[in-house]
Every structure is written in C-alpha cells, then in structure tokens.
Amino acid sequence: MSKVVVLEGKEYHKDILKEKIERALDNYFSIFDAVSTQDKILLKPNLLMGAPLSEAITTHPVVIEATGQIFKERGLRSISPTILEDL
C-alpha cells in the first residue's frame, strides 16, 4: 500500500517547508534508514506544464529546494530530473 502524508501550509517559506518535509521523511517514510550516502536520489517534481506558481499546477520550486537541502545535509546526492541519461 502506498503512503501519502498531507501537511498543512499557508505559504511557501523554505525553512517552514523544510521542517515539515524533514519531519514527514523521518516519521512516516524512514527514507534515511533505507539509503546510504553512496545512493543517488532523484527529485521528481511535477512539471505538467508551464503555468504561474499561483495556479499550483506544478511542484513549487521552494519544495524542491527544501527537499534537496535536506538530502544534502544528510550526505546524500540529489540529481536534477533533467539529467535522466545519467541514471
């Protein structure tokens, strides 16, 4: 069964989002127990179409930035989804 975590947020503030995302990764997914610093991590944002951020159609860049920062602080390497040929 898939896991989904919904966390409330009123705005896209990197520090607040980072704290919420890190808490979800630690408490609900235990991702850092499953990967090592040698593993490559792919951040896959929703890039459905070009649209203003206010329409919330794609993943907000601050979400990707905060998540990437968490992975880097834990010693993991994040990979841009534009470099898929390296996978």
User: Does 7 have pLDDT greater than 90?
Assistant: no
Could you tell me if residue 32 is inside a domain?
Answer: yes
State the pTM of this model: 0.78
Could you tell me if residue 1 is inside a domain?
Answer: no
DSSP result, 26-64: IIII-HHHH--TTSEEE------S---GGG--S--HHHH
Could you tell me if residue 21 is inside a domain?
Answer: yes
Domains identified in the chain, total number: 1
pLDDT of residue 79: 65
Domain of 58 in residue numbering reads as 14-86
At residue 6, φ and ψ (nearest 5 deg) are -115, 120
Could you tell me if residue 5 is inside a domain?
Answer: no
Could you tell me if residue 8 is inside a domain?
Answer: no
At 21-61, the pLDDT tens digits run 999 988 888 777 878 887 777 888 888 788 888 888 888 99
> 58: which 2 tokens?
């794609």
49 contact partners, CB below 8 Å, separation of at least 6: 57, 58
